[in-house]
Structure 1
């Protein structure tokens, strides 16, 4: 990392990873889970599932995946990698909350470009897809505001938002089914993902990336805020009911 001249200030010791060569097996597993369940991985999966779920043709599903990977994953990741390369962050996780604003703002800008591209080039359930995508820049701005004062878990918010988003989509797609069928299908699609929430909570606390309060707050934010936003956008603002 750079520490001299006009380069970036060094990364503070408290922001460095606690998982090193002498870490325990549990810490290594927790660290692997943190990287595997990275928030950037969920939007492309979510948007592709939404497109497929509403019956888009295969080429359109592939196009949605390509756009979402580019603007909701790759561009934000490049900003993180640049920070690591320049010594402004110790890893793509950016443990120091004071250094998170720049990559999050880059993500917001990239999300907005991606939303315009999705809205202009898709033909299946476009309004629902755009509504789903809109929660990402909106909630990222909210998380930026929270992070200015407190280190809420973005990992937990990302995973929980993925779960709540799929819960919403399953309810919309299957709302014409009998109540017992709808409940069964919704449970089958979201319950396994819900089980990942406590697992990731454990992982983030285990590697001392967050406190218990921070992971609980992140999970609560991701579960309830996007769900409320999606219902508001879909049934009130876009009037798709």
Structure 2
């Protein structure tokens, strides 16, 4: 019995609890494909969409914001040079991000039609965020995971205040996961996070001036 218990703990220590295994789990859990739609639902509620209107937006998001990009990403990760769920080859990233930009335009229109102007402006911001990632990916590979979680945490604090500051701890957690799994360097995860926070700051600055 004791020998079997030791084997279980040995397996956990050598496989399940390895840094790379933990990093992979965090990467899947905090993937932008889930994080951005989740924070968008919070954004819909914060913009004044409640009850039936909120549920209608959630269904639309699932069908248009999540499902098509998920299928596209699955396709791109099956191309030569990509492996697993991540698009590791930078040459493939602009193509994938370009497709996401097209779907983003559809999301902007749907947000205005089925949501409200505040919710529509959120999707315009998303489109600018994607466009920036697209342009950066033409010359350098920065972390979409770090950028996505920084975007989400920045928006949550903007909407609900600094009492939500603990969500910021998700950023270094995600950054560590991307580095330990060798998907990105430290500079690439830092750039992804700073890009998102910087864009939120710039968007708010321009909004206050216009």
TM over 0.5: yes
Give runs of aligned pairs for residues 112-123 of structure 1, distance below 5 A: 112-122=105-115
Q: What is the TM-score of this pair, normalised by structure 2?
A: 0.85
Task: Check if 1:151 corresponds to 2:126.
Answer: no
Task: Check if 1:30 corresponds to 2:20.
Answer: no
Q: Supply the distance in 1 between the matched residues of 2:121 and 2:61 (Cα, whole angstroms).
A: 14
Task: Check if 1:161 corresponds to 2:151.
Answer: yes
Q: Paired residue for 1:187? A: 162
Q: Would the aligned equivalents of 1:156 and 1:197 in 2 still touch at CA under 8 Å?
A: yes
Residue from 177, 185, 210 that aligns with 1:211: 185
Task: Check if 1:69 corresponds to 2:43.
Answer: no
- Which protein is richer in helix relative to its size? 2
Q: Supply the distance in 2 between the matched residues of 1:91 and 1:47 (Cα, whole angstroms).
A: 26
The Cα shift of 1:169 comes to 2.2
Q: What is the TM-score of this pair, normalised by structure 1?
A: 0.75
Tell me how many residue pairs correspond in the alignment: 197
Cα 1:119–1:209 shift into 2, 3 Å: same
Q: Would the aligned equivalents of 1:205 and 1:211 in 2 still touch at CA under 8 Å?
A: yes
Q: Supply the distance in 1 between the matched residues of 2:202 and 2:62 (Cα, whole angstroms).
A: 25
Q: Supply the distance in 1 between the matched residues of 2:76 and 2:181 (Cα, whole angstroms).
A: 22
Give runs of aligned pairs for residues 1-241 of structure 1, distance below 5 A: 25-87=18-80, 89-122=82-115, 126-170=116-160, 186-189=161-164, 191-233=165-207, 235-237=208-210
The Cα shift of 1:198 comes to 0.8
Task: Let me know the Cα RMSD of the aligned residues.
Answer: 2.1
Q: Paired residue for 2:7? A: none
Secondary structure at the counterpart of residue 91 of structure 1: coil
Structure 1 alignment gaps of length 5 or more? 1-20, 171-185
Q: Would the aligned equivalents of 1:71 and 1:114 in 2 still touch at CA under 8 Å?
A: yes
| Large movers: runs of 4+ above 6 Å | 21-24
Secondary structure at the counterpart of residue 100 of structure 1: helix
The Cα shift of 1:22 comes to 7.0
Higher mean C-alpha deviation, range 136-145 or range 80-89: 80-89
The Cα shift of 1:54 comes to 3.9
Cα offsets for 1:176-203 (capped at 9, x unmatched) = xxxxxxxxxx2222x1210011111111
Secondary structure at the counterpart of residue 168 of structure 1: helix
The Cα shift of 1:231 comes to 4.5
The Cα shift of 1:55 comes to 3.7
Q: Supply the distance in 2 between the matched residues of 1:236 and 1:127 (Cα, whole angstroms).
A: 18
